[in-house]
Amino acid sequence: MHTTLQTLWQETLDTDSVRQRLFQVLRQSIIQMVLAPGQALSEKELADTFSVSRQPVREAFIRLSEAGLVEVKPQRGTYVVRISQRAVLEARFVREAVEVAVVKLAAEKGIEPAMLTELHDLLERQRRCVKPHDYDRFYRLDEAFHRTLSLGVKQHAAWKVIEEVRAQLDRVRYLSVPHSTPLERLVEQHANIVAAIEARDASLAEQAMALHLREILVSMPDLVRRFPDLFEVQENQTLLQEAIQ
């Protein structure tokens, strides 16, 4: 099914406030390229689309600006920002530091059987996404996998940090799955992480997670070449070379 603003709105919880639902929809629409980098956003058009007043739209723009996803230009309008390679690399660095520590803790202390069962269930559901190329479903399962790891070792704050830094990173992750990174590779990497945790091998778990989170360093150069209009024009491959080194 082709993703639209309306379909994303339908996926939000109607028990949440209009402000929260609107922010979630606009954030996800930017991540999924429903609203493209460089695109101008109209308060009035969006308010009309969702049958809401302009105030919650204005508030969503402020939150999206704080997340680095839109730029509000006085007297000129609001625009979806292009993807910043530097911001992506900085977010990846933070995410690796946090999630490597999470899996190290999981391997050293172990996690509850129920959580392990949930991880294996997520792996199986991810495998079922491969042949039908169900990228949207895989993306949601991938997020659930990483969230389950953090919550499995009772590190709720760790997951909150990841959520706060991943906005720019998520756009490249979403772009890379259909265009650059095979689903089979990501599922295998997830399976290796779980196997290392079950073996109580902290060193192997750290290595497996680091390798997984560095996958974006492999895919991003290809994505920049294929979709140059989606990325900030002043940035170049030197950033990636420095990150890999």
| Three-state secondary structure string covering the chain | CCCCHHHHHHHCCCCCCHHHHHHHHHHHHHHCCCCCCCCEECHHHHHHHHCCCHHHHHHHHHHHHHCCCEEEECCCEEEECCECHHHHHHHHHHHHHHHHHHHHHHHHHCCCHHHHHHHHHHHHHHHHHHCCCCHHHHHHHHHHHHHHHHHHCCCHHHHHHHHHHCHHHHHHHHHHHHHCCCHHHHHHHHHHHHHHHHCCCHHHHHHHHHHHHCHHHHHHHHHHHHCHHHECCCCCCHHHHHHHC
Task: Specify the pLDDT at position 113.
Answer: 95
Domain boundary among 80, 111, 128: 80
pLDDT of residue 36: 92
Q: Residue range 155-183: average pLDDT?
A: 89
Say if 220 falls within a structural domain: yes
Per residue in 219-238, pLDDT tens? 999 999 999 999 997 655 55
- Of 198, 222, 172, 27, nearest to 106 by C-alpha is 198
How large is the average pLDDT for residues 66-95? 93
- Section 192-219 average pLDDT: 97
96 and 73 in one domain?
A: no
Which of the four pLDDT bands, split at 50, 70 and 90, describes residue 173?
confident
Average pLDDT, the chain: 91
pLDDT for res 242:
58
Domain co-membership, 182 together with 106: yes
In 3D space, the residue among 192, 171, 138 whose CA is nearest the CA of residue 69 turns out to be 171
Overall average pLDDT of the 205-210 stretch = 98
Q: CATH number of the domain at 71, please.
A: 1.10.10.10
- Shared domain check, 203 and 144: yes
- Measured in whole angstroms, the distance separating CA 151 from the mean position of its chain's CA atoms is 17
Count the domains in the chain: 2
The verdict on residue 164 lying in a domain is yes
Tens digit of each residue's pLDDT (9 = 90 or more) over 106-115: 999 999 999 9
Statement: residue 7 has pLDDT above 70: yes
Is residue 1 over pLDDT 50?
A: no
Lowest-pLDDT choice from 41-45, 126-130, 236-240: 236-240
Range of the domain at 26: 10-80
Phi and psi at 195, nearest 5°, equal -60, -40
Confidence (pTM): 0.87
Residue 192 has pLDDT above 50, yes or no: yes
Mean pLDDT of 61-81: 92
Q: Are residues 112 and 153 in the same domain?
A: yes
Specify the pLDDT at position 11: 86
Among the candidates 20, 45, 80, a domain finishes at: 80
Tell me, yes or no, whether 97 and 59 share the same domain.
no
Same domain, 38 and 154: no
